[in-house]
Structure 1
Amino acid sequence: MTQIFDRPAAMGLLARALPERLAALLPDLPAHAVLRGPEIGAVMVRGRQGGTGAPFNLGEMTVTRCTVRLDDGAIGHAHVQGRDKDHARRAAVVDALLQGAQADSVTRDVLAPLGAEEAARREDRARKAAATRVEFFTMVRGEDG
């Protein structure tokens, strides 16, 4: 069964993908024109204490963005962490491909393997973290009560 990806989920998966793995899954890019970039810049990362508190500026992060247009007119965008221009261009091409007739094959051949690998990495990280978990408990003393 092929997993369904909406566009934001697909773009996030492409941004988090290992660049060399994305290149291996899609070694040959279709003909495309670069509309913007790839350009390297910085964005301010904001956080919230406890996830719900008042927002604060955590710091800056380097990102690379790219926008491409395929020969069929589909336009793809990508923003990736770091300075890897090829990663940004390749992710933008995949985003454009997902908007056309090749969406099913790209989902099956590129997004599904990337999603499975990301899930495996997260599971491995969670398993390692669980192995170091310490359970604390409080003994009830007879004075309370």
Structure 2
Amino acid sequence: MSRSDISAAPSETAPESASGLASGAVHNQAAEARRHALGVLARASAERVEACMQVFGEAPPFVWLRRPETGTVMLRGRIAGDGAPFNLGETSLTRCTLRTEDGAVGVGLVRGCSKRHAELVALCDALLQGPESAGRVKDLVLRPLAEYEAEQQANRAAEVAASKVDFFTLVRGDA
């Protein structure tokens, strides 16, 4: 398959219809939910994800499509979000891909060198694709991790707010 075949937009290959637009919206919601779940899993510590997965129970058997591997990536930034891009620095990244018995493919991508963390993220991603396991993963893994993350953000915001200094100017009267 050539690169032009891959990059062709659906609208270039098929006429749009009302049902096509609706299915696109559903696909976007599913993609956004998956993106959110992968983000929560990747930002959580490997120990927290491991603890939640122990509550979940035994993981289903899987085969590796790509074993965990660690490398580095260049982080790029932009000043004010729209300036010229610049190289901010490098960070290590660990990734893997697996397939469960039911055919669901899960990907794991985490910052750092924890191969176990990447494996757990990929396993949760695959389990979220199964209708019978998705609810349990959301309740036993994602919800506790998201709640902990929100609690930590609130604590940090309160800590920062406590150190806030309000500057004001007093108008001096003419003497």
Give TM-score scaled by structure 2 length. 0.74
Choose from 138, 142, 148 the match for 1:107.
138
Match of 1:63 in 2: 93
> What is the one-letter code of the residue matched to 1:81?
R
Give the structure 2 partner of residue 128 of structure 1.
159
Query: Which of 19, 25, 28 in structure 1 is aligned with 2:46?
Result: 19
List structure 1 runs of 4+ shifted beyond 3 angstroms. 138-142
- Paired residues of 1:35 and 1:67 also in contact (CA < 8 A): yes
C-alpha deviation, 1:68, in angstroms: 0.6
Residue pairs, 1:1-145, within 5 angstroms: 6-27=33-54, 28-101=58-131, 102-139=133-170
Higher fraction of helix: 2
- How many residue pairs get aligned? The number is 140
Listed as ranges, the gaps of 5+ residues in structure 1 are none
Q: Deviations over 1:55-88 (max 9, x none)?
A: 2110011010010100000000011010000000
User: Which of structures 1 and 2 has the bigger CA Rg?
Assistant: 2
Higher strand residue share = 1
Partner of 2:26: none
SS where residue 111 of structure 1 aligns?
helix
3-state DSSP of counterpart to 1:26: helix
CA offset at residue 29 of structure 1? Answer: 2.3
Which runs of no fewer than 5 residues in structure 2 stay unpaired? 1-29
Across the aligned residues of Structure 1 and Structure 2, the Cα RMSD in angstroms comes to: 1.9
Relative to structure 1, the CA distance from residue 83 to residue 52 in structure 2 (aligned partners, 3 Å threshold; closer, same or farther) is same
Which residue identity does 2:51 align to in structure 1?
A
